[in-house]
Amino acid sequence: MPQIKPWNELTFTDDYMFKKVLEDASICKDTINEALSWNIHRIAYFEKEKSMQAFYKSKGIRLDAYVHDEAERVYDVEMQVYKVREEGTTDPTKNLAKRARCYLDEIDMERLRQGDLYSDLHPTFIIFFCPFPLFDGKQCVYRFPRVCANNPSLILPDETELIFITSKGSRDGLSAPMNALLDYMDGKVSDDPLVQRIEKRIHTVKQQEEEERDYMTFEMRIRQERAEASAEGKAEAKSEMIVSMLKEHMHINIIERVSGWTGEKIRALAQANGLAVE
């Protein structure tokens, strides 16, 4: 496991610092405006560092910046630094797209309460910033509303959109502030007003000893969650393997040798699944 990045080396693209920077409502609002070429006037936070989990055994998510504007449009703004590849997945872009899908679904589940109407769902936008190429590698901004496969000009009026922004690719048509923001993701500091405000915010955060302690706690918690998820996934996979072996009527001595489980534990699993032990 890689070492924790030193506190004084954190930048805008590091997850913890990105969260802290976007806790400044003015910076968060202007970042959204640049991403979407909009002009929203104010935002409010639902909850800073919002965690969601629809069901007890479902996969939980943690949102970076979860806000809404004066028109009650909902935004989740995320920074994805690494090309994440899950087991069985070779395409990091596909994995990121499915992560965005999951975030959108979780937000809808969280916002729509029992007794609410489907029409109560507000327009929702998931925005991912990534300092690596995406999709065909030709663009910097990719916006995905839901369109009809038979008639791409027909947009499904569900009022959702997934937006992926990368610092790599063609910047034709982008504003000067947006170009400066993308350059900043690649470590190039300019005198652009938004970039300078982000720089000032980062400097302010780094001067706070409490934030440094919180950063270390945050990193250790993330590592612990990943370790637990990995261990839980491996244990579940082994249980499924043993159940399959029991269904094939394999002798318990063989199952013990293959799995490393005790006979008592295998019998308990068999009983829980209504299976006989040979």
Span 7-49, pLDDT tens digits: 999 999 998 999 999 999 999 999 999 999 999 999 999 876 5
Q: Which amino acid appears at position 258 of this protein? A: V
Look at residue 236 and tell me whether its pLDDT is greater than 60: yes
In the chain, % of residues over pLDDT 90: 49
Per the rule left: phi > 0, alpha: psi between -120 and 50, beta: everything else, 79 is: beta
Closest CA to 110 of 55, 65, 59: 55
- pLDDT value at residue 113: 83
What average pLDDT does this structure show over 117-142? 92
For residues 63 and 79, the answer to whether their CB atoms sit within 8 Å is no
For residues 61 and 107, the answer to whether their CB atoms sit within 8 Å is no
Across the strands, what pairs with 163?
127, 143
What is the spatial distance between Cα 244 and Cα 83, in angstroms, rounded to a whole number? 34
Query: How much is the pTM?
Result: 0.74
For residues 155 and 146, the answer to whether their CB atoms sit within 8 Å is yes
Number of H helices, E strands in the chain: 8, 8
